[in-house]
Structure 1
Amino acid sequence: MSLTVSDVRLVTPEGTHDGWLTIEDGRITHVGRGRAPGNGLSLGGRTLVPGFVDVHSHGGAGASYPDGDPETAAAVASFHLGHGTTTTMASLVTASPATLARTASALADLCEQGLLAGIHFEGPYISKARCGAHDPALLREPDRDEFRALVAAGRGHVRMLTIAAELPGALDVIREAAGEGVIAALGHSDATYEQTIAGIEAGATVATHLYNAMPPLGHRAPGPVAALMQDERVTVELVNDGVHVHAAMLRLAAHEAGPGRTAMITDAMAAAGMGDGRYPLGPMTVDVENGVARLAEGGTIAGSTLTMDVAFRRTVTEMGASLTEAAAMTSLTPARVLGLDAEIGSIAVGKHADLVVLDDDLRLAGVMKRGAWVREPA
């Protein structure tokens, strides 16, 4: 099947221009400027950006990936796809070894079907002092044998592990992860600057939701924030929902890391797309009020109700990023984290036609995955 999309503002890594593109068999075959040759689907001057890539999401539409139910997990992925996330990972929370293995096995089926890009273990090897919305009773020291068993349960689809570098045995597990092709992400950590650098030297390449669940940036004790922002080997995740991080600190991180090392994430939980109320997050209970998710006991922020289309818009309107920079942070950089940037993450010839149409206010107007409309623009 061939399709020409015309009269559109294209956002590419090289910049933004008015033009057109053609799609054949689910891939982009031509990207042009000005008027399209022949007839095509006119988008009336609206903006076309690459499909969003979310490397950290727990749920949405009333369901959670940690539930381990393939049907509801597919519903979560479908919900976020409807908001422009054409590639997503399933993030789990701390649980018992048996629960994590069982859940990973169930989600691996969806990975094999192409609905998920991989599985992310956020915990259980994280700091009790910075555990956030994780059950502290289930936290444990890093264990290479247990980690190997979890990777085996995921049948090659475990893509990321969040770990606190300061824990005994953490550096060994980080090295093990790197050897298994699993991204080691530093987060939920009480580490010093030096301990964080040691984690990076061992092979960690991602910062799990920078600023959140780690010591604040200090001028005498810079802690993990400075180490992670400044190291060229690390991609920093940011939750841009107006709750997790002040806009000034978002701008600071994006300035330090640049669009090429900054990945916007949702960290979404079950309440995304739903109303206020009470929701589960693994073994924990979360209350959502005015769209803000907090633990029912203690009031700690517990994920978000964010979707990636909102994150893109806020990256432009609240952070002052250009459209090209915002597309990098919501698509190309996270695709690179997953090693998928040759296939997805930008509007370029040869890549999958994973695309998002935005109106003049940068609000979602259409979604395409692999050349097929998920939400056809009116």
Structure 2
Amino acid sequence: MSERALEISARVEQFVRESVAPYEGDPRCGAHGPSDELAMELKALARKAGVLTPHILPDGSHLSHRETAAVLIRAGLSPLGPIACNVAAPDEGNMYLLGKVGAPEIRERFLAPLVKGEKRSAFFMTEPAEDGGAGSDPMMMQTTCKMDGNHWVINGRKTYITGADGAGVGIIMAKSDDGACMFLVDLPDPAIRIERVMDTIDSSMPGGHAVVSIDNLRVPADQMLGESGEGFRYAQARLAPARLTHCMRWLGACVRANEIATDYANRRMAFGKPLVDHEGVGFMLAENLIDLKQAELMIYWCADVLDTGAVGTTESSMAKVAVSEALMRIADRCVQCMGGQGVTTDTIVEQVFREVRAFRIYDGPTEVHKWSLAKKVKRDWKKVQDQA
């Protein structure tokens, strides 16, 4: 690990543990995520501490994926940490995308306020099942875009749009005659209506997850990202590292949950001795250490692949499956070790359990990634047979 990453991650960890964790019981943390008031208050603290958007350097360049892992794992030590440090989803993934493929004017108008923590963003891709729209299969996209003069006109519905309520920047995917397209828009816009914000199992992301209607939204042609028909390519460029950064943040959360469970098991007495001395509990904590280390190694391995310049879709699928499933086991064991205390809001353990359960679906459920890997197994086998 580079010296700069070690230094940044150490400052992030100290900030999250000392300045952010005390806010975990703040009443402004609601069912649809922390309020924007709380998010801005936390970002102001991070700005003062010099850890706001720490993965993007002052000259606009990014830390490597390996370095980013060290930083985001520490930011994730509290569910509020990524929000405070401005490395939360979907903003972190959107910043990465715009920094990679956005034209200079796009970066100045839409990326700069995200990096500064002045605005939040939303990524409009998934569509309602009742409309026959795109979910895990993006080829089913129903939202359309058509040229009208020097504008594109967009119509459709989207769902599970994280952070749409309160966002200042939107990235919208729609389908033209050429294929998928991606557009940058200022929010709010009267043509984009939030039908409702859904009640979901998770509650860590400001704005929650919304169902959205888009009615005759007019977008200037120069606000298209790239060319017509290139949207899926850009979406994949965003999703491969975004899946990995989810792993990083939630690994940090599980490290903290395991710390809390370990402390409880060493202090709580039952049947004449601390819980940790009962094999049923001690062994669960031992298994947590194994899963935590395996998850960490998988994350750094996948980060190294991305740092070679490879797209890394196979590796990110492997990481998403292995890490999300390992973290689910860890969070579940933490709850179990703490018994009744583990399902209360007295600690973040119950929230981490809920968030990690949702993570197994974010950016494609586990089964979709296994299916993708199974297809690779078949392709590789066929390639060997053809060469034989």
Query: TM-score normalised by the shorter chain: which range applies?
Result: under 0.3
Q: In proportion to residue count, which structure has more strand?
A: 1
Bigger radius of gyration among the two? 2
TM, length-normalised to structure 1 = 0.26
Structure with the larger RCO, 1 or 2 (CA within 8 Å, 6+ apart): 1
